Amino acid sequence: MSAQRIPAWIYVVVIPFVNIMLAALAAGIMFWYLDINPIQAVKTMAFGAFGDSYGWGYTLYYTTSFIFVGLAVAVAFQAGLFNIGGEGQAYIGALGVGIVCLTLGDVLPFIVILPLSIIAAGVFGAAWAFIPAYLQAKRGSHIVITTIMFNFIAASLMGYLLVEVFKVEGSMSVESAVFAKAAWIPKVYEVLAPLGIDLQRSPLNLSIIWALICSVGVYFFMWRTRWGYEIRATGQNASAAKYAGIPLDKTIIMTMLVSGMLAGFFALNVVQGEAHQIKLNLVNGFGFTGIAVALIGRNHPVGIVLASILFGFLYQGGGELQFEYGVDPRIIVVLQGLVILFSSALENMTKHPVEKAYLRLSGKYIKSEAKEA
């Protein structure tokens, strides 16, 4: 079967859609087993995620975080690197944002603080990715092992700093002081209210714009620049890339720096846009979910944005399902697992049948045209 005869939209649109439908069917069977009407469960999730501005706000808030961590994983994947250190890089990015906001929030206006916090989030996230990148490029240490280690180191470091450095005196909570309001990223409902657009309160903030800008930036960086070409060439065949003169060590380090930078931007949404302080365990597994987002999005920015919306729907809709039916919170993890299972691990199960179906349909169409002629 020649893949050249099959258009790209079959792989980008049709096959992922079929996989998601199969995951939905498996989820329906699970709901039926739990004595929950599958149709009602889907309606509950859909209304909870998209039924009003409150649901949309939370769905897009989660989507924003998933875009950052998904892009971070995807950039590394393009170079053949499995960066599972998004948790630690996002955590350290929060440290950078927190330092800027806590020290300059009462001194500088928001228009100056915002670019400084963006730079700090990116620099701190990239710095945390640098050592694993250097060890991989110069010493041959596997990136998976080192990034796992650095996740634990980041968690321990942040725990120490929150207790010994940033903790408010006299407080029992392991968290920093609240940032000055001048440092807060505005909520979307606050920005739209003066324009006469009345939205319900939600944590959705303007960092979603930066997430979309980063998506466009990653596309142009990966597919329209020499550096992006070198990254993709390294991921497809490192030996051939080296033979062609691409410096593998520099490419690996540059890729991980970009990946860590994108993961660090996670803090803009969660820390500066919503919590307004550094908290313990603020990443809450989003870094690992970014791996699934990148896989389902086929490591392409457009696919990652769509996959992020899907996972935002699962998070927000799943929360509504938990509230409505009292299901175990781990059911949401099961739903995510089903999507990952059918969209990634079992991709070839639907790939070949869809290819055959397309070839049959297109062949019949061509034959019918020939007969009419």
Mean pLDDT of all residues in 36-59: 92
- pLDDT bin (cut points 50, 70, 90) of residue 341 is confident
CB 300 within 8 A of CB 74: yes
CA-nearest of 151, 178, 140, 136 to 263 is 151
- pLDDT bin (cut points 50, 70, 90) of residue 1 is very low
The mean pLDDT value of the chain amounts to 91
Measured CA to CA in angstroms, residue 121 lies from 62, 68, 159, 266 at distances of 18, 12, 18, 8
Q: What is the pTM of this model?
A: 0.91
- Stronger pLDDT, 373 or 64, i.e. the higher one: 64
- 171 torsion bin: left (phi>0), alpha (psi -120 to 50), beta (else): beta
Proportion of the chain above pLDDT 90, given as a percent: 69
Instruction: Give the DSSP H or E segment for 321.
Output: helix 301-325
Strand partners, 41: none
